Structures are given as C-alpha cells and as structure tokens.
Amino acid sequence: MLDNIILVLLCFRISNIVKAKGYNSTPWVLRTVGMWLLFELIGIIVSYTIQKNFLIVNLSGFLCALIGYLIIRQRALNLPDKNQANLDNV
C-alpha cells in the first residue's frame, strides 16, 4: 500500500519535470508506472528464486522499482527544453 502512495508522488514529480520542459506529461507518467511495475516484478521474481522470505522479497521488489523510477527520472532530466528552443527561434 505504501509503495502505491510513493508511486503516485513520484509520478507527480516526473510530471512536473517534463511539464517544465514543455512536454506532455501523460506518456511520461505511464512510462514511470510501467517501469515501476516491471522492475518491481523482476526484483520480486529474482529474490523469490534466491530466498523465499516474504520480507526480503518485498523489500527487493521495492528497491528494484526505485531503480526503474531513477532511470525514468534521469531520462526526463536529460530531455532538451522545448521552451528554450522556442525562444531561440524567435
């Protein structure tokens, strides 16, 4: 439950980053959710195959999900600023 709240907050953060650069935030929020779920699932599966402890499995899934978010955040931060490009063309 707590990871869902964290995911919503991180989606707002990604949305603010890309909106400030002049991009549509919807695809970036969907990418964030997709990467979060994908990496969480991968972390859970790998951890479960190694050790079947419930706490360890959930913790490793959460940490892998954070890695997925960090990848998306870095890509969002590396986007060129469309607002600045429009000012240069004027």
The pair of structure tokens assigned to 24 is 């549509």
* pLDDT tens digit at each of 90 positions of the chain: 788 999 999 999 999 999 999 999 999 999 999 999 999 999 999 999 999 899 999 999 999 999 999 999 999 999 998 887 665 565
Q: What is the dihedral of CA 38, 41, 47, 50, to 10 degrees?
A: -100
Mean pLDDT of the chain: 92
Per-residue pLDDT at 90: 55
Compute how many other C-beta atoms are within 10 angstroms of the C-beta atom of residue 9.
9
Per-residue pLDDT at 28: 96
How distant is the alpha carbon of residue 60 from its chain centre? 16
The pair of structure tokens assigned to 7 is 């995911």
